[in-house]
Structure 1
Amino acid sequence: MDQFNKYLDVSAEVKAALEEGKPVVALESTIISHGMPYPQNVETALQVEQIIRDNGAVPATIAIIKGRLKVGISPNEIDYLGKKGLEVAKASRRDVPILTAAKADGATTVATTMILAAMAGIKVFATGGIGGVHRGAEVTMDISADLEELGMTPVMVVCAGAKSILDLGLTLEYLETKGVPVIGYQTKTLPAFYTRDSEFHVDYRMDTPKEIAEAWTAKLELGLKGGMLVTNPIPKEYAMESSYINKCIEEAIEEAEEKGIKGKETTPFLLAKIKEITGGESLDSNIQLVFNNAKLAAQIAGEMCK
């Protein structure tokens, strides 16, 4: 890890937990700066950290602050990112060296959170939903860097499936090509973020955190490169009706096309538009599924340490 010390700051709490073999769960920061308005973004981030603690693990929220790669940030730093909001750059793999050199701030996406977690030695990461292959990608080539990262970085990602604004079938095909196992927690159906199911199936169903921890440990010990994707359906009481949410998504995609929105602007635009169409209901669902994923990730990390 020495070559990273020039750029990387691991908090004292996270460092001690890793050295003592205690469970640690990584968390991303785009959800703070780009996911929701202030102060709800900060309250949610702190609540997610608390859920991880309540389930016996140490949270490590990851971000780039003034050019430093931070693994484990303080409540004050979370508040700083929340207040700055969209002024903070959305940092994917390609942005890391630029932001570091410029001593700038960056909110880490799934891909970048995986990279920094791996640098620090963290193996489990909880998020809301991963990026994937966008609808129409056979023409636009719009494929999230999250999938590429899952194909090469040894971090398990616990999520509520791929965001339902994506082409779920092509996303699964891409993950298969990259050799990434897709696990359904207590389900064989791929959850679709706001809804508990889709027309697609995961590779394997596993019913306990212990089972998932054993499969992930085996992958790491075999030296097989890349991560593992654990898809955890949104709790029933917060799930949205699939025909309703799909109609909202179609409407949002249509508007994005009309406005010529492309690339890294697509996901934030669509999520904000869906929130508007659903009268805020989609944001409530989003928060609850993140809480649910944090709990499962902490339980898996705990089983791995046993």
Structure 2
Amino acid sequence: MIGKLACKLGSRMAAVTYSIIQVRRFLHAMDVSTDLTELGRTPVAVVSAGVKSILDIGRTLEFLETQGVCVAAFGESREFPAFFCRQSGFQAPYQVQNEEEAAKLIASILALGLSSGVLIAVPCPKEQTASGQIFEDAIQQALKEARSKGIIGKELTPFVLQRVNELTSGKSLDSNIALVQNNARVGSRIAVALGKLKKAQGKGNLPQSGRATAPQPVVIGGTNVDFIAKARNATMLVGGQTNTGKVSRTFGGVGRNLADCLSRLGRTPFFISAMGKDEHSESILRYCSHMDMGGVLQLEGHNTATYCAVITGSGELSLGLGDMDIHQQITEHYVSRYKQHLCMAPVVCIDGNMPIATIQYVCQIAREHQVPVCYEPTDENKASKPFLSDSWRALTYISPNLRELRAINRTLGHPVPTDLPSRLEDVVRTAMTLACPLLTHLCCVVVTLGSHGVLLCGRSMGGSVCLHPGTHTQNAAGELCATHYPAVPVSREEIVNVSGAGDSLMGGIISGLLAGYDTDTCVRMGLLSASFSLRSREPISQKISTFSVSLEQVKAQSWPEAKTCRMD
């Protein structure tokens, strides 16, 4: 009843002390409380102290499972609590260690639009453990008396509670009050964490993913705070001297950039990443309020990833320093919490920041559920991660630059050039040679060429490279071809930041793919997005939108001719 009322009032939280879900003992037939079935059809989170040991805890948990209710133990253990006792001998199906994890679990379940609820089982405080055993002994004594007197059914609970109160000289009432206070404390903190999560994800009663009309794309990858220190002079002073200049802060990370771009293009991807719980993470959440950050893990005692670049007055990188350890927390175990998102996604995008095991897990899930995967290599050192095993064969798209493409081929044991060319014709020829071995399994290799634009390599269909994975499978025998698309002209004076151009390119291409557009339109949406970001101080331009990068805007542009050739 509490949960039903909370749901009708627009709340997703209800804190209680007694177990509102119960299957009574000593009955051959199931005697099930209506609270249990109600939770199975009401999308609300209930915080309780578990199930009283006077009830059948095992059968209660089994019945909850049949009703589709997510049950999670709160704290350090999966041990399901038994009201006065921290341990019942039964394991909860899931575990959340703190209020933030509980809030993210609730948000994720609500986002799926399920009609069932969530039970967060909170053990009694440790300081009550000793008295908890006293109460448990009293409960067992009361149950023994009930059996001898033949008391069953609806008469059992009031009899046992009355006898426990008598046997403990009224101390059970004090413990009840303490449990009420503890549940209210934990429940309110979860509600606050859930509120912060919703605020970070945008206005409304549900996370953005809950308002999506179709399955969301999923982006998994790094989130960084970038500090750019640009000296005023072309020559840096060394030996401890101070260089005058300007320092700026932006928010980056390949995964974050891609999710940002897709969000601005109206695709509302579900973003999975990891950050510390510090001032940097709070700034990121405020800046990314237009994104669905429901899969972002915040960890106490860890630093949010930061990168500091020192640049000379002439634009040359003098020194770079990165603190990226937090990316190792994007583990297979953590990502597996969002398996349902992965299975239902129209496309999953990953970057090279996460551990190899996580990449392998995502590729395995994608292969099993036939979900297209786009891999952003991130940098030359990380580019080869999927290619250290057969995981890469589950990829659909990759978007390397020429150096990253060479590193991938080197990992696979293919011959690679020692020096990379600079003349456009030679660059295109080298890129085609290096992309060819990958197309035995991949749908398309998108080679970013900087100011020269982009080269698409894949199977020919209708005079251009096939981008849609289903069609690619049907056209497996088609000849390989490559199409070079020149970049949107941007003068050197207009360029402010190049760090997010490649991510903007892929964001535009993927957005076009999700809209079902042809290859030329998809690529030009990407090139248009990249041109905005090149002129922006931020890696992803705030000018990117569903209007500025639309089908109409693409058609209105005068585009340089794209050239297609066979990959012999």
Q: TM exceeds 0.5?
A: yes
The alpha carbon displacement at 1:250 in A equals 2.6
Partner of 1:177: 66
Contact 1:239–1:285 under 8 Å retained in 2: no
String of CA shifts for 1:9-48, please: whole Å, max 9, x gaps.
Answer: xxxxxxxxxxxxxxxxxxxxxxxxxxxxxxxxxxxxxxxx
Any runs of at least 4 consecutive aligned residues in structure 1 with deviations exceeding 6 A, and if so which?
none
What residue number does 1:147 align with? Answer: 36
Match of 2:89 in 1: 199
In structure 2, runs of 5+ residues without a counterpart are 197-568
2:53 match: secondary structure: coil
The SS at the match of 1:153 is coil
Partner in structure 2 of residue 119 of structure 1: 8
TM-score normalized with structure 1 length: 0.59
Shift of 1:244: 4.2
Partner of 2:458: none
1:164 alignment partner in structure 2: 53
1:272 to 2:162 alignment: yes
Alignment of 1:250 with 2:144, yes or no, is no
1:83 paired residue number: none
Deviations along 1:58-88, whole A, 9 cap, x unmatched?
A: xxxxxxxxxxxxxxxxxxxxxxxxxxxxxxx
Structure 1 residues 194 and 274: CA distance shift in structure 2, 3 A: same
SS of 1:217 mapped into structure 2: helix
Deviations 1:256-296, CA, capped at 9 Å, x for gaps = 34555444343222112111112222222211111011011
Segment drifting more, 227-236 vs 273-282: 273-282
Q: Which amino acid aligns with 1:148?
A: T
SS in 2 for 1:234: coil
Report what 2:102 is aligned to.
212
Map of 1:42 onto structure 2: none
Alpha-carbon separation, structure 1, partners of 2:17 and 2:183? 7
2: CA distance, partners of 1:238 / 1:157: 22
The 5 Å alignment of 1:219-234 reads 219-234=109-124
Deviation by residue 1:203-250 (Cα, 9 ceiling, x = unmatched): 112112111111111111111111101011111112346654343223
Corresponding residue for residue 246 of structure 2 = none
For 1:245 and 1:152, how far apart are their aligned partners in 2? 33
CA offsets 1:105-136 (integer angstroms, 9 cap, x no match) = xxxxxxx1112111111110111121411112
- The residue that corresponds to 2:327 in the other structure is none
Alignment of 1:281-300 (within 5 A): 281-300=171-190
2:85/2:133 contact within 8 Å kept: no
Residues 240 and 285 (structure 1), Cα distance of their counterparts in 2 relative to 1, 3 Å cut: farther
Deviation at 1:165, TM superposition (A): 0.8
- Deviation of 1:152 after TM superposition, in Å, equals 0.9
Distance in structure 1 (CA, Å) of the matches to 2:138 and 2:43: 35
> Which SS does the other structure have where 2:164 is aligned?
helix
Question: 1:123 touches 1:155 (CA, 8 Å); kept in 2?
Answer: yes
CA distance in 2 between counterparts of 1:240 and 1:223 reads 42
SS at match of 2:46: strand
User: How is 1:31-110 mapped onto 2 (pairs within 5 angstroms)?
Assistant: none
Aligned ranges 1:234-245 → 2 under 5 Å: 234-240=124-130, 244-245=134-135
What percentage of residue pairs aligned between the two structures are identical? 44
**Residues 195 and 240, structure 1, Cα contact 8 Å, conserved in 2:** no
CA–CA distance in 1 between the matches of 2:22 and 2:126? 24
Name the SS of the counterpart of 1:121 in structure 2. Answer: coil
Alpha-carbon offset, residue 158 of structure 1: 0.4
Secondary structure of 2:14's aligned partner: strand
Deviations 1:176-223 (A, max 9, x none): 111111111112101110011121111112112111111111111111
In the other structure, the counterpart of 1:76 is none
- 1:170 partner amino acid: R
Alpha-carbon distance between aligned partners in 1 of 2:40 and 2:90, rounded to the nearest angstrom:
20
Q: Secondary structure at the match of 1:164?
A: coil
How many residues get paired?
A: 194
Aligned to 2:193: 303
CA contact (8 A) 2:24 2:153 kept: no
Residue matched to 1:8: none
What is the SS of the residue equivalent to 2:123? Answer: coil
Partner amino acid, structure 2, of 1:302: V
Q: Which secondary structure does the structure 1 equivalent of 2:80 belong to?
A: coil
Please tell me the residue identity of whatever aligns with 2:128.
Y
Greater CA drift, 236-245 or 296-305? 236-245
Aligned partners of 2:84 and 2:136 also within 8 Å: no
State the TM-score, normalized to the length of structure 2: 0.33
Whole-angstrom CA distance in 1 between matches of 2:160 and 2:73 = 26
Whichever residue aligns with residue 38 of structure 2, its letter is E
Question: Counting helix residues as a fraction of each chain, which structure ranks higher?
Answer: 1
> Does the 8 Å contact 2:26/2:152 carry over to 1?
no
